[in-house]
Amino acid sequence: MTEPKTGTNTKSRTTEWATDEGNDSPLVRTLSTVGKGILTGIIGGMAAFTYTQSSLITWTINPQYVLLLVASTGAFAHLLAYDLHESIRIGIVAFLSGAITLTLSWVAPLLLLPYSGTARDLLLPRLLGNALRGVLLVYVGVFLGAYLLTLTVDAYVTA
Residue 3: inside a domain: no
Residue 20: inside a domain: no
Cβ neighbors of 100 (< 8 A, separation 6 or more) are 41, 45
Residue spans of alpha helices (H) in the chain: 26-52, 64-79, 84-112, 117-133, 145-158
Q: What are the angstrom distances between the C-alpha of 30 and each of 51, 54, 89?
A: 31, 35, 9
pLDDT of residue 153: 96
Residue 72: inside a domain: yes
pLDDT of residue 151: 96
Residue 15: inside a domain: no
Q: What are the angstrom distances between the C-alpha of 49 and each of 15, 55, 135?
A: 38, 11, 9
Cβ neighbors of 146 (< 8 A, separation 6 or more) are 70, 71, 72, 73, 74, 75
Give the type of residue at 157: V
Q: What is the pLDDT of residues 89-122, one digit of tens each?
A: 999 999 999 999 999 999 999 989 999 999 999 9
User: Is the pTM value of this prediction over 0.75?
Assistant: yes
pLDDT of residue 77: 96
Cβ neighbors of 111 (< 8 A, separation 6 or more) are none
Q: Which residues of the chain have pLDDT under 50?
A: 1, 10-14, 18, 23
pLDDT of residue 16: 52
Range of the domain at 148: 26-158
Residue 7: inside a domain: no
Residue 125 exposure: Cα atoms within 13 Å on the Cβ side: 3
Residue 1: inside a domain: no
Q: Closest by alpha carbon to 131, among 108, 112, 157, 147? A: 108
Residue 77: inside a domain: yes
pLDDT of residue 24: 67
Total number of domains constituting the chain: 1
